Amino acid sequence: MADSQKADSIDNTSPRQKMYKIKINEEKEIEVEGGKSLLSTLRRQKIFIPTACGGKAKCGLCKLKVLEGAGPVLASEEPLLNDKEKQSNVRLSCQVKVEKDLKIIIPPELFAVKEYSCKCVEITDLNYDIKQLRFELPAGGQLDYTPGQYMHLFVPVYEKSSQPTVRAYSISSDPSDKNHIEFIMRLAPDGISTTYCFKYLKVGDNIRLGGPYGQFKLSDTNTPIVFIAGGSGISAIKCMLHNLKNTGSKRKAVLYLGANKVKDLCGLKLMSQFEKELADFKFIPAVASPDEGENWNGKTGLITQVVREDLKNAAESEAYLCGSPGMIDASVKVLKEMGTKEENIFYDKFE
Ligand SMILES: Cc1cc2nc3c(=O)[nH]c(=O)nc-3n(C[C@H](O)[C@H](O)[C@H](O)COP(=O)(O)OP(=O)(O)OC[C@H]3O[C@@H](n4cnc5c(N)ncnc54)[C@H](O)[C@@H]3O)c2cc1C
Ligand code: FES
């Protein structure tokens, strides 16, 4: 068998697939083999489109404009595309199959995305179900990213998963250390990626990371900041706080960190340290329902109640939210009721 056919069979692509042309941003044209999704076809060309669900039409991160050649919107795409997106030819690149010549638009920043084989150099327990993972880029490698962005983590095949899996994780590291990447990860019971990282990944192992991705970032203004996070949602905010410190920012900021029980909280020491180091930063952890006997002297109640009672300048603030979709939706509602302008509310949902 010829080498090219061997490679194709590893990728499950028939050697008889037709070739098609993809015109990108009205500039560049590439020739590709048909039959696979646009997402994986571009990946083979080293153009890395974001995904958090690995191509299962669940996350919506893989949206691209496909101007020609995609055919009608599929039923699998409908739930994730609104009318405006459909009118402007936005499609889920994981669902569009390459079976005609295509014309597509790719946001220019995605051409800067790269994949790296990184060594796991530290795994730290932050509480019983949240860990901090630290990875080193290959020698001489540097990652330039904006605090708030996230990376793809590629989980290899292991006994709990029959195929490679990709998941998104916000970068939590100090952005001044460009040779390392840290994540703060919460264990999802029986989740493919987190089970791998919690139970199988060891210090010294190599893992593939790709990125950076995402538009979640602090504005370049002096407007007061309200951060709201739950659980591992503290990750992107930690990175932003490092950056405020590194740049000597005097910006007023408050972080409301929500947890169900005291044992669910993490990062308390580090956040208290930021309180000392930043010019005008207040940290307010809150526990929804502490168990009897849990030693808790801080705020009690849902994070939304605590924000409602505590926050005085909602109308003049920008809000940055990170965590589960439920927590974010509830917080957005409360902030809007308190007068924060919709255009000043930014979030990253861990869907
Ligand atoms: C932009 C972005 C940034 C993110 N950043 C972070 C971060 O910083 N930290 C972090 O911890 N997470 C983050 N996430 C979430 C992360 O990407 C993963 O979704 C999360 O870690 C779970 O992945 P998993 O593979 O372990 O679980 P999955 O395998 O995806 O499963 C998730 C849960 O669903 C259950 N499940 C799976 N399939 C089924 C089924 N068919 N029926 C019923 N239940 C099912 C599993 O048991 C598990 O509990 C982020 C997500 C996004 C989109
Ligand atoms: S990759 Fe998740 S919807 Fe397409």
**Residue 188 Cα to ligand 1 middle (Å):** 6
Q: Write out the H or E segment, with its range, that includes residue 245.
A: helix 234-246
**Residue 270 Cα to ligand 2 middle (Å):** 34
Give the nearest ligand 2 atom to 63 CA: 4
Give the nearest ligand 2 atom to 54 CA: 1
> Does residue 251 contact residue 234 with C-beta atoms inside 8 Å?
no
pLDDT in tens, 70-87: 999 999 999 999 999 999
Residues in a beta bridge with 133: 123, 183
**Residue 347 Cα to ligand 1 middle (Å):** 17
> Does residue 122 contact residue 134 with C-beta atoms inside 8 Å?
yes
Contacts of 276 (CB under 8 A, 6+ apart): none
Closest ligand, as measured to the CA of 131: 1
Closest ligand, as measured to the CA of 200: 1
Closest residue by Cα to residue 179 from 125, 141, 131: 141
DSSP 261: S
What is the model's pLDDT at position 163? 85
Dist. CA 223–CA 220, nearest whole Å: 9
Dist. CA 24–CA 270, nearest whole Å: 45
First to last CA, the chain: 43
Phi, psi values for residue 231, rounded to 5°? 55, -125
Give the nearest ligand 1 atom to 188 CA: 49
pLDDT in tens, 253-310: 999 999 999 999 999 999 999 999 999 999 999 999 999 888 899 999 999 999 999 9
What is the model's pLDDT at position 185? 98
Give the nearest ligand 1 atom to 197 CA: 26
What is the model's pLDDT at position 351? 77
Give the nearest ligand 1 atom to 50 CA: 1
**What residue ranges of the chain have pLDDT lower than 70?**
1-16
**Residue 80 Cα to ligand 2 middle (Å):** 9
State how beta strands 19-24 and 28-33 pair. Answer: antiparallel
What is the model's pLDDT at position 11? 38
* Structure-block tokens of residue 280: 């005008």
**Residue 195 Cα to ligand 1 middle (Å):** 10
**Residue 135 Cα to ligand 2 middle (Å):** 26
Dist. CA 254–CA 224, nearest whole Å: 8
The Cα-based distances of 132 to 85, 312, 324, 346 in angstroms read 37, 33, 18, 24
Closest residue by Cα to residue 105 from 67, 59, 62: 67
